[in-house]
Copies of this chain bind each other. A is one copy, B any other.
Amino acid sequence: MTTFVELNGRSLTISDIGRIAIDGAQVRVSVEAEEKVTRAHQVLLELAAEGQPIYGLNRGVGVNKDRTIEPDFLEKYNRNLIRSHSSGVEPFATHDEVRAIMAVRLNTLLTGGAGVRLELVRTYADFLNHRIHPRIPLRGSIGAADIGLLSHIGLAMIGEGEVDYGGQRMEAAKALALAGLPKLALGPKEGLAIVSANALSAGIGALALHECRKLLETADLVYALSLESIQGCRSPLDESLFRVRPFEGATESARTVRGYLEGSSPQEASGGEKIQDPLSFRSACHVHGAARDALAYAERLMTIQMNSPDDNPCLLVDERRIVPSSNFDVTAWTLAFEMLGLSLSHVSKLSCHRSIKLGNPAFTGLTRFLTPDPDRAIGLGTLQKTVVSLDAEVRHLSAPVGPDHYSISGDMEDHASHAPYVVRKTGEIIDRMYYIFGVEAMHAAQAIDLRANANLGRGTRAAYAQIRGTVAFLSEDRPLTEDIAAMNRLLRGKIWIPEEETERSADGK
């Protein structure tokens, strides 16, 4: 893995966001992109000099759009714009989130659509590379540009507000001094360029997509283990079925699961009579596949978002025009997140049903609730309430935020996507699902132990080993709260899924 990511305004990926935000990679701006930024700024100045009215440069923003900004007021105007728009509500972004947000805005500025100076662009890179992380509140945007929140980045750049730096929360001015960076003096239209973007939604959204792909791989892996634990029928995973009915996500999920099972002997062959399992086992790859389809759709749209200008007005450098736009509209991919959340709710529920089935002797041939001792121990029965209650939260969170909005800003803003909340709740769904799959994994491992003669596959064997390295076989009743927490930590970790699998599927779409 490289220690830096080169940005050019055209090819930023979800994985790149993961590298910058989570792995802490540095950023570099490509030479070509720097040249484009410089050229764009030159064009912007020329257009303004020709007397064109430009929103946010020589005209006010929002309902003040009909107000003229005098040149001598320009710098104060931009500073004032940053200050006056800083209006957010806790919680504040994590380090990972701050980095994702800034990386996205940096990359979209490289398209030249804003027309800002190269100096501003470099300030984003400096902040990322010095790990100066502005304190950004996460609430206060309706998702038609994250204005009131992104302004806190601007505050920090001009030496106001607060940042996290070197493990400490401090005044932005102090951090700049410590890092040897100057306070930024804002150029024309730069106040607007900093605040008028969807980088908060897009950055946090990209992180959620990154995490979601890993979750779906976990889902496939835990399902594979559960399937082995009941010696379930593998026919529905048959490659040919997906050749004749080629839904992409399902095809991918089934291929992944077959990979995990590789090397395991399909025990059901012996019996010969067991034709079908419950749908939570039989249809798992189709349902996981539906989520993969939704994810792929969201990833595709988000990739466009991260590599396009969302500026209004938008500078068209080659055409030497600056055009009022609605580039700030992010309804399309916000809806993709809503669908993704709904699809995850299906995935979540299926896992719960499998945990429940794993406690049912009629389906497993094992003990009730997988107890090691029917006379003296309850087994895993109480975990059913755990997952079912979390699944209710998933279901509730997956309810769409919807188009509901009422007109604000002098009746000008009569539409909203609520993107920031939608991406945030997608993350919350994922959080809960790791717990749910952790509990399913506890069931599967317990069933495998009780069955004793397990002959696991390449992937499932590795998974089983990690699970048993984390929580012990339930040999008598014990409090399970800590086991649940430990399994959650295991599954959220990076090394949980067998190496070759993660590599194979990383950005595999």
Residues of A within 8 A of B (CB): 53, 55, 59, 62-67, 80-81, 83-90, 111, 113, 137, 139-142, 144, 147-148, 151-152, 155, 160-161, 233, 235-236, 238, 240-241, 244-247, 249-250, 272-273, 275-276, 278-280, 282-283, 285-287, 289-290, 293-294, 297, 301, 304, 308-310, 313-314, 316, 319, 321, 323-327, 329, 331-332, 335-336, 338-339, 342-343, 345-346, 348-350, 352-353, 356-357, 359-360, 362-363, 368-369, 375-378, 381-386, 388-390, 392-393, 395-396, 398-416, 418, 420-421, 425, 435, 477-481, 484-485
Contact = CB atoms under 8 A, between A and B. Distances in A.
Contacts of A160: 479
Nearest to A361: B410
Given A84-B378, A235-B323, A290-B332, 20 more contacts: A53-B272, A67-B375, A84-B377, A84-B477, A89-B390, A89-B485, A90-B485, A236-B324, A238-B323, A246-B304, A250-B332, A279-B326, A285-B326, A348-B403, A389-B421, A392-B405, A396-B425, A398-B402, A402-B404, A405-B406
Number of identical monomers bound together in the oligomeric complex = 4
5 contacts: A84-B480, A139-B389, A144-B283, A346-B415, A411-B411
Contact of A342 (B246, B357, B382, B403): B403
A336 B335 contact: no
A83 B386 CA distance: 15
Contact of A83 (B329, B392, B414, B477): B477
A142 B280 contact: no
Given A335-B343, A342-B335, A352-B406, A382 B479 contact: no
- Please indicate which of the listed interface residues A287, A375, A403 has the most CB atoms of chain B within 10 Å of its own CB: A403
Nearest to A145: B385
A339 B350 contact: no
